[in-house]
Amino acid sequence: MQLAPKHLQFEPRRFAAPDARADGRRRQVRLDGDKVAIQRVIRGVSMHVIIPTRAYRGVALRVVDAREDGFSYEIRLLHADPDLCVALAETQDDSEVQAEWRLWARVLNLPALVERSEGCTEPDKTQLGQVSIRTVAPRRRGKTIAGRRPRFLARRRLGRPELCVPVAMVEELFGGPDYER
């Protein structure tokens, strides 16, 4: 189990959320770092469901409403079952919504998703499993020799031939093992 850094951990939160099917049209949601607990009453039957956060697809950002003065945004935990989706925040502030959305994704260790069209979510960044994919940054040294030689060897220069001492043919100093001794 991965734990979020200390500055990203938070206290459990409990809040009421709208629920069309529940009695009183409300349900209670308790959000911990590793699980979500949903309590509601449907036709007099009390239900209590606990779902691990890793069962959620991600933290989605979507535009709820377009107005003359701007947009209304919603950040929600997205699950395959629409009844288990949880609204985390609603705001009209353009400057703070992205920061809060990315913070929720980081704290819950879930991918950040964007709903560009109704009902279709896609990852904010291209991913391969849990790893983000991006274009490769160019190397600092664009020389062709750098691709064929290691970095330190690419810096070495050849010596001057006039300073080289010619080597004469000499006898072999050590000829290997001699088994006849």
The answer to whether residue 151 is domain-embedded is: no
Q: What is the pLDDT of residues 65-78, one digit of tens each?
A: 877 788 889 999 99
CA dist 165 and 174 (Å) reads: 22
pTM beyond 0.85, yes or no: no
The answer to whether residue 108 is domain-embedded is: yes
Q: What is the pLDDT of residues 123-158, one digit of tens each?
A: 777 666 666 667 776 666 555 555 566 666 666 667
**Which one, of 58, 137, 68, lies nearest residue 105 by Cα?**
58
The answer to whether residue 33 is domain-embedded is: yes
β-strand partners of 91: 73
The answer to whether residue 162 is domain-embedded is: no
pLDDT at 172: 67
CATH number at residue 82: 2.30.29
pLDDT band of 37, cuts 50, 70, 90:
very high
> How many structural domains is the chain composed of?
1
Range of the domain at 55: 11-132
